[in-house]
Amino acid sequence: MRTPPIAQVLHLDQRKLAAQVFERYAQRAQLYEERRKRAQLALEQFGAPGRDPEQLGNVLQTLAGQSAWKPHLLLAQLNNHWDQVVGKQIAQYSRVDSYVDGVLTIRANSPVWVSQLTYLVPQIEQTIAKKLEGLPLEKVQITGPGVGRKRSRYIHSWR
C-alpha cells in the first residue's frame, strides 16, 4: 500500500508551498539586511556630536532618577547614614527595619530604647525629610525586639 503525498494528507495547496517556504527565507534575509544597515549607521555616527562618553556614575544616577529605584536608593542611604539621623549613641541600639507604603519601621534593641525613640519621632521625621528629599514618609513606627515577623512552628531555618 502506497502512502499519499504529504501535501494531500495535510490538505495543503501545492501551488502555495514554495511561496510559503520562500517567504520565511525572504523575511530572514530582510532582518539580516536591516541589522547590517543599523550596524553601518552606528559605525558612521560613532564620535558624532551628542554621542560623547559619559561617566558611569552620571549614567547610573540618570537611570535611578528615571525609574522606581529612587525610594530604594534613598532607603539604602538612610541605612548607611542612620547615625547621622539619630546620633551615634542611639544608632548603636536601633536600626531601620523596613519601609512599606510610606511607613518607616525602626527596630530598637530594648523597650527602653523604644520609649526613647518614640519621643524622638518628630525630630527623626524632620531630619529624614530634610536629608532625603523624595522619600515619601507618612509615618515612623518604632518597634522593639521580638515584635514583628513571626515564624511558623513548622518552618525551620537551615543555617
* Domains of the chain and CATH, by start: 66-143 (3.30.300.180)
Cβ-based burial of 9 (10 A; exposed 0-12, middle 13-18, buried ≥19): exposed
Residues 6+ apart with CB under 8 A from 136: 71, 102
State what percent of residues in the chain have pLDDT above 70: 87
pLDDT at 74: 83
Residues making up the chain, counted from first to last? 159
Mean pLDDT value of segment 67-88: 85
pTM recorded for the entire structure:
0.54
Q: What is the mean pLDDT of the chain?
A: 83
- Residue 148 one-letter amino acid: G
Q: pLDDT band for position 159 (50/70/90)?
A: very low
Cross-strand bridge partners of residue 98? 105
- pLDDT higher for 57 or 143? 143
- At residue 73, what is the residue type? L
Is the confidence at residue 31, as pLDDT, over 90? yes
> What confidence score (pLDDT) does residue 35 get?
95
What integer is the mean pLDDT of 7-29?
Answer: 85
Distance from C-alpha of 11 to C-alpha of 135, rounded to nearest angstrom: 64
